[in-house]
Amino acid sequence: MGFSTDAIHAGQKPDPVTGAVITPIYQTSTYAQEELGKHKGYEYGRTHNLTRQSLEANIAALEKSKYGVAYSSGLSATHALMGLVKAGDHIIVSDNVYGGTYRLFELIMKDFGLEFSWVNTNDVNNIEGAVKENTKMVFLETPTNPMLNLTDLAMSAEVCKKNNLISVCDNTFMSPYFQNPLAFGIDIVLHSETKYIGGHSDVIGGILLTNSDEIHKRLRYIQNAVGAIPSPFDCWLLLRSTKTLAVRMERHNSNAIVVAKFLTESGIAKKVYYPGLASHPHHELAKKQMRGFGGMISADFGDVELAKKILKNVKVFTLGESLGGVESLISHPASMTH
């Protein structure tokens, strides 16, 4: 089936009791059991929730994965990945990742005995060169936040398989609509569902997706043991959102191309970073592994005061953190999110 058909139907079916077409919000913490050891597959809300299961199956279908494991935020999903490694292990990370990822790894997880190397993964040889005896994972972000640098997913996956490393890709900026890292051999895909998947700036969520039975089993255990789960209502909001993801991403993409070209041709910006521009250093790679270029643009105005003036005087755009909503947002990452 097509992407939008999967978005509308995958993981969802009419409620067996009422026939409700839309998956209900199963707002319950526990479930009645017929007798000791006999239940309907649902015991406790942290472990099982049908609204959450519907969401996981839905996004798994969109990302072309076997499994989806949902968490309460993108960062809680990133934190869950740390349960796949142990103290003394080494992780290679793209050096231009989201600031929250950097804080989690460098300022928190380091204290638990993990070692991180920040590498320019645009050149896959740098990944190979950073591999050590204790390296266990490679964490990629492509395109990166905020500079929109790209990493070759197929070549990176090849390096990881050669060295027996778990490969992870944060696919938030592209959404499942424009890029599917698992198709290039990546082991785990991460999304902050707060962004494009949610798309309405009204819900926080995260999800990990994989085709590996072993990785899924461990992530499912971590989800239950740690308990960083999304609420049933949050899952319902996200299910509402995936139904329009294709339409929204197409419009994000077409609008971004217009804005990026305007910023470039007008000379207002000193430098414009957008994978859809032929001037982008990774434009050819973008065309190879992405079906669109997304709705994120970064611009260097060469002057902090000019940047402040623009931020203060924009009319349609709202100054605020985050991205991916139906409204247009503008931010200064160095002082706001990174």
- Check 31, 46, 95, 220 and give the catalytic one: 46
3 state SS of 231: coil
Closest-CA residue to 171 (of 78, 278, 272, 257): 78
95 vs 92, 111, 141, 283, CA distance in Å? 9, 20, 9, 19
- Where in the chain are all domains bearing CATH 3.90.1150.10? 245-336
Tokens 């270029």 — which residue?
A: 293
Give start and end residues of each alpha helix (H) in the chain.
Answer: 3-9, 50-62, 74-81, 99-102, 124-130, 153-162, 175-178, 213-226, 232-242, 245-266, 283-289, 304-313, 333-336
Q: Quote the mean pLDDT of the chain.
A: 97
Q: What is the Cα–Cα distance from 93 to 271, expressed in whole angstroms?
A: 26
In contact, 148 and 296? CB cutoff 8 Å: yes
72 vs 1, 77, 141, CA distance in Å? 29, 8, 20
pLDDT of residue 38: 86
pLDDT of residue 338: 67
- Sign, Cα dihedral of 323, 325, 330, 335: negative
- Check 26, 52, 67, 195 and give the catalytic one: 195
**pTM of the predicted model over 0.95:** yes
Which is more confidently placed, 66 or 337? 66
Q: Is 98 a catalytic residue?
A: yes
pLDDT of residue 70: 99
Q: Is 46 a catalytic residue?
A: yes
Q: Is 195 a catalytic residue?
A: yes
Which of 32-39's residues contact partners 24+ apart within 8 Å by CB, and which partners? none
Q: Over 80: is that where the pLDDT of 320 sits?
A: yes
CA dihedral (26, 27, 32, 36) in degrees, to 10, reads: 90
CATH number of 3-242: 3.40.640.10
Q: What is the Cα–Cα distance from 127 to 118, expressed in whole angstroms?
A: 10
Q: What tens digit of pLDDT does each residue of 135-157 get?
A: 999 999 999 999 999 999 999 99
57 vs 24, 78, 208, CA distance in Å? 15, 19, 12
Q: What is the Cα–Cα distance from 215 to 187, expressed in whole angstroms?
A: 9
Q: What tens digit of pLDDT does each residue of 192-235 get?
A: 999 999 999 999 999 999 999 999 999 999 999 999 999 999 99
Q: What tens digit of pLDDT does each residue of 270-299 get?
A: 999 999 999 999 999 999 999 999 999 999
- Where in the chain are all domains bearing CATH 3.40.640.10? 3-242
Burial state string for 5-41 with b = 16 or more CB within 10 A and e = fewer than 16:
ebbbebbbeeeeeeeeeebebbeeeebeeeeeeeeee
Would you tell me the crossing angle of helices 213-226 and 74-81 to the nearest 10 degrees?
120
- Check 98, 177, 196, 274 and give the catalytic one: 98
- Check 6, 152, 170, 187 and give the catalytic one: 170
Share of the chain above pLDDT 90, in %: 93
Tokens representing residue 95 in the block: 């050096």
Which of 157-165's residues contact partners 24+ apart within 8 Å by CB, and which partners? 157/184, 157/185, 157/186, 157/187, 158/185, 159/124, 159/127, 159/128, 159/131, 160/127, 160/185, 160/187, 161/185, 163/128, 163/131, 163/135, 165/92, 165/131, 165/135, 165/136, 165/137, 165/138
| Phi, psi for 272 (deg, rounded to 5) | -120, 130
Tokens representing residue 71 in the block: 């968490």
Q: Which stretch of DSSP H or E encloses residue 92?
A: strand 90-94
Superfamily of domain 245-336: Aspartate Aminotransferase, domain 1 (3.90.1150.10)
Closest-CA residue to 138 (of 101, 113, 168): 168
